[in-house]
Structure 1
Amino acid sequence: MQPKEKNKMEITSKTKTEIVIDNGTSEETIETSIDLPELNLVRMDMNVIEYPLFSKNKRRKVNQSIRYKLNGRTDKYIEVKPIAGETIPGDFEEKVFIALISVMRKNNYSRNFAVTISEISDNMKVSAYSKKAIHSQIKMALKKLSETSYTFKDSLYSSIKNELLTDTIITNMMSVRIISKADARVEEKEKYFRDGRIKEIYLIAISQHFYDNIINKGYLVFDSNLLLNIGSSIARAIYMLITKLRFNNFSYKIGLISLAGRIPLKVDKNNVGRSAKSIEKACEELKDKKLIEDFKFIKNQNWENAEIEFFFTEEHNKIKQDNFYVEKDIFKELYLNVQDINSENVSENFFNSSNSNGASEENIEKILSALPAKAKQLKTIKNLIYNSIIQYDFDRVLRAAIYTKEKNPNKVYGYFKKAISFNYGASISLKKEHKKEKNVEQHKLNLENLKNNMVVDYYPYYESFEKLNLNVQKQICNMIIKESILRIENNSSLNENFKNMFIESIHKQFEVDKKRLVNEFLEKNKDKFENLLNKKSESQKIEEELNIQEKKLDNISNSSKKDLLDITNIKDYITKSIEGYAAIILLDIETEKNLRKELSLKIIPLMMESPLSKKDVDEIIKEEIKKL
């Protein structure tokens, strides 16, 4: 977050119902993060990280409101009002909130999603033994999250405006609608209760202010499993806050009073020592879990002037950076399904209607008939088809069914479900029946489409690609995949584990986004494939040209990594080569300058496409030397 005041936090008033926080400026840029297979990365809103929206006080009083004043100003505060007869949200509610954000991610980052108590407890990583015991606690936590009032006066951070909103915002964390099986309408039973074990469904809508930050770079990424595994709520608060404040520094120093105030803990003379011990215990937990390298207290004569310094390693920064890029890639894929939807309209439809979006019995049968024959023997396959049409759309599920039938896997259900989730059938064309009276103009982009932010994909080069014979198509696809592998192998910012993970996923990602990738590749190389695209040569000549281009990629791929040059080492290599020639043919300064210019004009564009081998560069230099 980026408040405008200086980075300084002081406690200026202490009462049982009021904690005053001097919350200072933070000059760090807002970050993001990524997902390893064993991680469950989630986006945490900056306001949740910066402010004590979940109390750490285990002795919270019923019906007691808390007002946190920022910088000691009465006109700049956050006030938390509990629901009647209850306390404000605390540690347990925070864990439920983290679990819900995890569920939201699994629902393609949609603001609105349905969930059961069992799903929430699963995402909280609660043991099977404890699930039933906390059932009622989770229900109450949902009630608190939806009905507790948060008033932000000149304090709510908005990533859309990239500043604190100066007006007064009164909001909750989310809206919740509970549907029981007994009270559900017929269409709701069809939609949510096909599994006979489900008795209640919770329809969640994350509040717009928090959702906007999660979607629009007003967040940090954390592993939800890791956050939930931190035993102390104080340790969790310190970890999230310091992760944000330190940016990528290997050490970060903060005043004890300042840190305690932001958690918040009591810091008056009678309690500051006790709070210091609580913070020390929390820091020990973070150190034991290797979330920090170390920490030390700097007392400076008394607790009021004491500081805490945290230490981190290169590995901490590397994990943070790797997580950022992995999560970002996952977000791009998952969020595609909801990015053009108006959130407010979705919320209204989500809570007040049950549009089946084409999930009719007839459509379910069409998809079932497109699957391998053995799918009809599966009892739950129709439920999967129905729910998938509701979540996505009929065409996407039908394409996934056709794709599954083409692959004919042993385990149809699991493969089909994955094909739907990752949209593996995206490149499959579906024949549509068009009524004669439909005007051709309906298929063109128009101003009204643009006003409504509608996007129509148009891939002209892919259309040419589809008209080629299958062998030629296969060669082009292989070239695209090889080129992608080369880019990953030569990306010095990725470690070997990430490189292997990305390379393993390339073929799947290619199938998901085949049209766009083929179109971009052919457009980028249109000069090389001019005859192919314009169909001016015979099939044999086209294949010969493709073989030449594919051979070039193979040569690069088979070259030793030490023989590949990129932007970081090309300058030294060219300089040494020119110096070698200059020593023999005695180049003057002006000639050498012109030679460098010509080489840069030829080499740099080629390097932007893929790394060059030393042999390639030597050939280019030789050609230019011959011209002298």
Structure 2
Amino acid sequence: MLKDEDFFETELVEETHYLEEELFVDENLVKNRALIRVDMNIVQFPIFSKNAKRKKNEITTYYFNKNKDTYITIKPTAGDLIPGEAEERIFIALMKIMKEKGMEQEFIVTAKEIRDAAKIHASHYIKDIKKSLLRLSETSYNFKNTMYSNETNTILKEEVSTPILTFKSLLLSSKENKEIKKTIKDNRVKEVYFIRISEHFYKNVVKRGYLVYDSNILLDINGGIARTLYMLLEKIRFDNLYVKESIFALIKKIPLKYEKRSLPTTIKTLEKAFNELKQKKLLKDFKFIKESTWLQADVEIFYAEVHNSLKQERFDEDNKELKNIYNTLAISHTEKNIEEKIDNGSELPSITEEMIQDILDILPKKAQDLKSISKTIFDSIQNYGYKKVKAAAIYLKNQKKLTSPRAYFLKCLENDWAKDIIVEDKKIIEAEIVENEKEDLVNLKEAEKYYNTLTLDEQEELEKKVYLEYIKECGQDTKVQKIAFRGAKNNLILKYIDANNLVNKEVEIITIEAEDTIEKNKVLTDRVAFNDYINESIDMYKIGFDLSEEETLRVKRQIFLQLTGKFILKELTLEEINKTIAEKLGG
């Protein structure tokens, strides 16, 4: 006789443990009020645990306020741990590799590439790397009032559950992976990994929601606690050479244990992390100030001018290398980047280097040359909000004679002279474009299937025909057009197939005559073409407009800064490039 249990399959797992940590910090202990919520929620998200005594099946929740309605819950897969130090190194390595591979959301990587990028020296690295990748892909992160969305330009109120990435192991011996095998030069490689960075994390990394760090610096820091401390302090200090911070606040932000019995050990751990940063010359000096208890103590951190120079160089290098689309060794770290007007009692915005640079580029050259202007912009955003400061920068730029641009700038903000200038929120527009293009992708997939059924000769004839249509629309056939077409070729062909409904027509490609119209939104996907098209277009205008070298470089910088995020996400059209060039040259 059959029993009920015969119809059920039971999986035995170890007991699940729950760990809750309150990371809320009393604001009376916070020295830098403007940054505290941003730091806890974004820069030092406790995504990688610093707990050396993690337990299997331990679900960890970090709370960021007293009401416990702002939190992150980290849930490991059955029988496993939540990600820690090893996974953090692998993730940093993947960010470096992603940049080297053109900032694509999906990419193929070998274990050796990860080993080299993560600076792993163990002989059994393949097993360890695969274990970390599985842990990163199988661990669930639940964000409540903590996940910043670049699309909406705000913290999402609803709960978001996501892994950091998805991972798939691909055997090169499999027939379906033969094309991938051709790209692997080392014949000893038997297996590669397909990595896809999760949507929320990826969009923050490539579009404005980031801070720039050097991956070599991060990976050369031996301890995970010291690494988190370094990243946290770089955000807190901005360009200040002196920082005074509550030790208790730092302990909670990292986070470390602060119970009475574990506090002495925690202080030693924190001191060890500070000493490592000092030895590696990532800070000049530090000093603990304890007048009563450790929970009421402070730490003073000192920096030298060279630290600011190196920090600015990282940011500048990341920007000027846009022509090669992020092929440096710097990585990006997600950061809250809210542009908002400040009213009494409202939250202060998170201020990034890119926001400072955005406003700096608008200001007249006389203002840009002032050594104190970056700090002035930073302080102004704190006091007035990003949009109001940007409006003031536009107002200042339009003034003919300026004897004291900084003083005039501050007066403009104080008296609200730029109140009639509207700073548009471009991100909302970009989000709408993304949605529209997603609808087009459905038709393009069918077009791609049709294209793959054509012979090589038919594909070649179709390409020639599409090029003729492209030249007809451009009105000229120059090197610039050839470069641009080469970069957008695949997309142009698929859009032509869709526009002319060739999927449902049985016709010979070689007999098709040129059509009158072609899709105007030609999405540019080739990085070399992207770089060359912008450079050559501006160089042509340089002669006609009699632009100086300095002015030419400034315009190029602004255009690359504005367009690169959309290019990386494959959302940039040639029409938009031309429009942006015209706007910058016309301004």
- TM-score w.r.t. length of structure 1: 0.53
Flag the structure with larger Rg: 1
Q: How does 1:93-492 map to 2 (within 5 A)?
A: 93-127=87-121, 130=122, 132-185=123-176, 187-188=178-179, 195-331=186-322, 333-334=324-325, 426=483, 436-442=512-518, 445=520, 449=521, 454-455=522-523
Maintained 8 Å contact 2:228/2:254 = yes
Secondary structure of 2:78 counterpart = coil
Q: 1:90 aligns with which of 84, 87, 92?
A: 84
Change beyond 3 A, Cα 1:105–1:193: closer
Maintained 8 Å contact 1:250/1:311 = yes
Q: Distance in 2 between matches of 1:289 and 1:426?
A: 45
Aligned partner letter, 1:94: E
Maintained 8 Å contact 1:205/1:347 = no
Aligned partner letter, 2:311: K
Change beyond 3 A, Cα 1:347–1:151: farther
Structure 2 match to 1:20: 22
Structure 2 match to 1:8: none
Q: Distance in 2 between matches of 1:278 and 1:346?
A: 54
Q: Distance in 2 between matches of 1:272 and 1:217?
A: 38
Aligned partner letter, 1:17: L
- Aligned-pair CA distance for 1:519: 3.4
Change beyond 3 A, Cα 1:296–1:147: same
Matched, 1:66 2:60: yes
Change beyond 3 A, Cα 1:193–1:235: closer
- Aligned-pair CA distance for 1:335: 6.8
Q: Which moved more, 1:138-147 or 1:434-443?
A: 434-443
Q: Distance in 2 between matches of 1:201 and 1:346?
A: 32
Secondary structure of 1:236 counterpart = helix
Q: Distance in 1 between matches of 2:119 and 2:439?
A: 33
- Aligned-pair CA distance for 1:285: 0.4
Matched, 1:56 2:45: no
Change beyond 3 A, Cα 1:194–1:126: closer
Secondary structure of 1:65 counterpart = strand
Aligned partner letter, 1:21: L
Q: Percent identity?
A: 34
Secondary structure of 1:440 counterpart = coil
Aligned partner letter, 1:216: K
Structure 2 match to 1:389: none
Maintained 8 Å contact 2:226/2:273 = yes
Maintained 8 Å contact 1:30/1:218 = no
Change beyond 3 A, Cα 1:294–1:135: same
Secondary structure of 2:229 counterpart = helix
Change beyond 3 A, Cα 1:300–1:331: farther
Maintained 8 Å contact 1:46/1:220 = no
Secondary structure of 2:208 counterpart = coil
- Aligned-pair CA distance for 1:521: 3.5
Change beyond 3 A, Cα 1:361–1:285: farther
- Aligned-pair CA distance for 1:441: 1.6
- Aligned-pair CA distance for 1:315: 1.0
Q: Distance in 2 between matches of 1:345 and 1:100?
A: 30
Q: How does 1:617-628 map to 2 (within 5 A)?
A: none
Change beyond 3 A, Cα 1:200–1:267: same
- Aligned-pair CA distance for 1:330: 2.4
After superposition, the C-alpha distances for 1:183-230 in whole angstroms (9 at most, x for unaligned) are: 452655555667532211211110111111101121111111111111
Aligned partner letter, 1:83: T
Change beyond 3 A, Cα 1:60–1:357: farther
Maintained 8 Å contact 1:30/1:217 = no
Aligned partner letter, 1:78: I
Maintained 8 Å contact 1:295/1:309 = yes
Q: Distance in 1 between matches of 2:132 and 2:94?
A: 11
**Structure 2 gaps, min length 5:** 1-16, 328-429, 443-447, 461-466, 468-479, 494-508, 550-583
Change beyond 3 A, Cα 1:239–1:69: same
Change beyond 3 A, Cα 1:67–1:30: closer
Change beyond 3 A, Cα 1:191–1:177: farther
Change beyond 3 A, Cα 1:199–1:238: same
Change beyond 3 A, Cα 1:428–1:440: closer
Q: Distance in 1 between matches of 2:116 and 2:312?
A: 28
Maintained 8 Å contact 1:30/1:220 = no
Aligned partner letter, 1:27: A
Q: What is the number of equivalent residue pairs in this alignment?
A: 383
Q: Distance in 2 between matches of 1:345 and 1:281?
A: 53
After superposition, the C-alpha distances for 1:66-109 in whole angstroms (9 at most, x for unaligned) are: 11111222211111111111111000000000001111101110
Maintained 8 Å contact 2:40/2:64 = no
Aligned partner letter, 2:119: K
Change beyond 3 A, Cα 1:173–1:357: farther
Maintained 8 Å contact 1:67/1:80 = yes
After superposition, the C-alpha distances for 1:47-82 in whole angstroms (9 at most, x for unaligned) are: 663211101111111111111111222211111111
**Structure 1 gaps, min length 5:** 1-14, 32-44, 349-353, 367-394, 396-422, 458-508, 529-548, 554-607, 610-628
Q: Distance in 2 between matches of 1:183 and 1:526?
A: 57
After superposition, the C-alpha distances for 1:464-499 in whole angstroms (9 at most, x for unaligned) are: xxxxxxxxxxxxxxxxxxxxxxxxxxxxxxxxxxxx
Secondary structure of 2:278 counterpart = helix
Maintained 8 Å contact 1:157/1:165 = yes
Q: Distance in 2 between matches of 1:181 and 1:187?
A: 7
Maintained 8 Å contact 1:53/1:89 = yes
After superposition, the C-alpha distances for 1:274-325 in whole angstroms (9 at most, x for unaligned) are: 1111000110000000001111101121112011121112111111111101
Change beyond 3 A, Cα 1:107–1:64: same
Q: Distance in 1 between matches of 2:317 and 2:450?
A: 34
Q: Distance in 1 between matches of 2:125 and 2:450?
A: 33
Structure 2 match to 1:523: 541
